[in-house]
């Protein structure tokens, strides 16, 4: 009976001790446990680094894919994302007639603007961008036709309206070919959207892998400290007191893994910077790869901490209850 009364009064004494703790004392104890957990991990650097490396690789893969898609989206966005049409006129259409046609098309309600590119302007632009100026000088005549660049009105810039405008322009007797210039951009945007969904799926699978890695690591640590846990419980330690070091260990694994992931991503994109710049220069573009912004770095760090804490919480809740003094 006396033993039962002692067991019944133990939770009351624990609750009283928690109420008596000042915020400063509470923070001091948590800081001590956090530093002690970090010290335990540092005493096994190889095992700690291997676990953190697995977490870092798992975090770096979706971060790299997301950053790559972000750069591709930024590259596609550097072009004019608004629907436009190129109307190539027949070779027999003189410039004066092309200008008259451009004025007539400007009066259409579904058209916002029309720009006439004469054959001479087209040839000069091709000369500057192609790098074949010497070859073009040998031509007896200009092979390029006049072109009308048609910009639809905002309310007619959708795929269906733009396609209807393309059909109307193609039906003109002066038109050789009417081309909708946004089609390939729309296809690229659709592929990027599909790839982003794939990145989310891969991220979820790799997050599950991180939980399993952290959970298994904390489980082994719990089993290795079984006798210490039993003794701590015999002297009246609370479950929260016993659980706390393992939660901080999982948190440290997440932090180190996130930092390793950031290092891997930055190194990989740094290695790609020079080839991408050389390729952009060939297309007279100033495009440069964007590395991890500060916000994404904070998200990566927060994700590593959350996964490490959650994985350790699951492992502690599942295996710590099985250890009882006996």
Mean model confidence pLDDT for the chain: 81
Residue 216 pLDDT more than 80? yes
Residue 318 pLDDT more than 70? yes
Where residue 10 falls among pLDDT bands split at 50, 70, 90? very low
Say whether pTM exceeds 0.75: no
- First-to-last CA distance in the chain? 20
Best CATH choice for the domain 85-181 from the list 3.40.50.10470, 3.40.50.300, 3.30.565.40, 3.30.70.3040: 3.30.70.3040
Residue 6: its pLDDT value, please?
42
- CA–CA distance, 52 with 311 (Å, rounded to integer): 13
Domain ranges, ordered by start, for the chain:
23-78+187-319, 85-181
**Residues 6+ positions from 151 with CB-CB distance below 8 Å:** 82, 83, 84, 111, 112, 113, 114, 115
Token output for 135: 């070859």
CA 23 to chain centre: 39
Where residue 1 falls among pLDDT bands split at 50, 70, 90? very low
Residue 5: its pLDDT value, please?
40
**Residues 6+ positions from 221 with CB-CB distance below 8 Å:** 246, 249
Residue 105: its pLDDT value, please?
93
The H-assigned helical ranges of 183-238 are 183-224, 226-234
Token output for 255: 């932090």
**Residue range 125-165, pLDDT digits in tens:** 766 665 555 655 556 666 678 899 998 887 877 667 888 88
Give the mean pLDDT of 191-203. 87
**Residues 6+ positions from 101 with CB-CB distance below 8 Å:** 89, 93, 148, 172, 174
Give the mean pLDDT of 67-88. 73
Residue 111: its pLDDT value, please?
92
Residue 260 pLDDT more than 60? yes
Give the mean pLDDT of 85-104. 90
Residue 7: its pLDDT value, please?
43
b (16+ CB within 10 A) / e for 264-290: bbeeebeeeeeeeeeeeeeeeeeeebe
């Amino acid at each position: 009976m006396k033993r039962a009364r002692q067991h019944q009064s133990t939770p009351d004494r624990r609750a009283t001790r928690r109420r008596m703790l000042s915020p400063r004392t509470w923070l001091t104890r948590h800081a001590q446990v956090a530093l002690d957990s970090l010290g335990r991990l540092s005493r096994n650097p190889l095992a700690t680094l291997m676990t953190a490396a697995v977490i870092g690789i798992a975090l770096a893969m979706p971060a790299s894919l997301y950053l790559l898609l972000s750069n591709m989206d930024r590259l596609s966005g550097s072009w004019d994302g608004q629907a436009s049409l190129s109307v190539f006129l027949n070779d027999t259409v003189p410039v004066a007639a092309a200008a008259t046609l451009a004025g007539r098309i400007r009066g259409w309600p579904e058209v916002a603007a029309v720009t006439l590119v004469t054959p001479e302007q087209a040839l000069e632009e091709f000369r500057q961008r192609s790098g074949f100026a010497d070859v073009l000088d040998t031509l007896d005549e200009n092979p390029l036709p006049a072109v009308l660049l048609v910009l639809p009105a905002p309310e007619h810039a959708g795929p269906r309206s733009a396609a209807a405008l393309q059909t109307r322009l193609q039906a003109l007797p002066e038109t050789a070919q009417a081309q909708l210039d946004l089609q390939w951009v729309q296809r690229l945007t659709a592929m990027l959207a599909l790839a982003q969904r794939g990145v989310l799926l891969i991220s979820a699978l790799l997050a599950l892998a991180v939980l399993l890695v952290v959970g298994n690591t904390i489980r082994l640590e719990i089993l290795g400290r079984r006798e210490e846990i039993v003794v701590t419980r015999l002297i009246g330690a609370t479950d929260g007191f016993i659980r706390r070091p393992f939660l901080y260990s999982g948190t440290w694994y997440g932090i180190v893994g996130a930092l390793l992931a950031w290092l891997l991503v930055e190194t990989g994109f740094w290695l790609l910077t020079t080839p991408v710049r050389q390729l952009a220069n060939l297309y007279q573009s100033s495009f440069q790869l964007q590395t991890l912004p500060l916000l994404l770095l904070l998200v990566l760090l927060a994700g590593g901490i959350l996964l490490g804490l959650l994985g350790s919480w699951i492992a502690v809740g599942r295996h710590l209850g099985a250890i009882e003094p006996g």
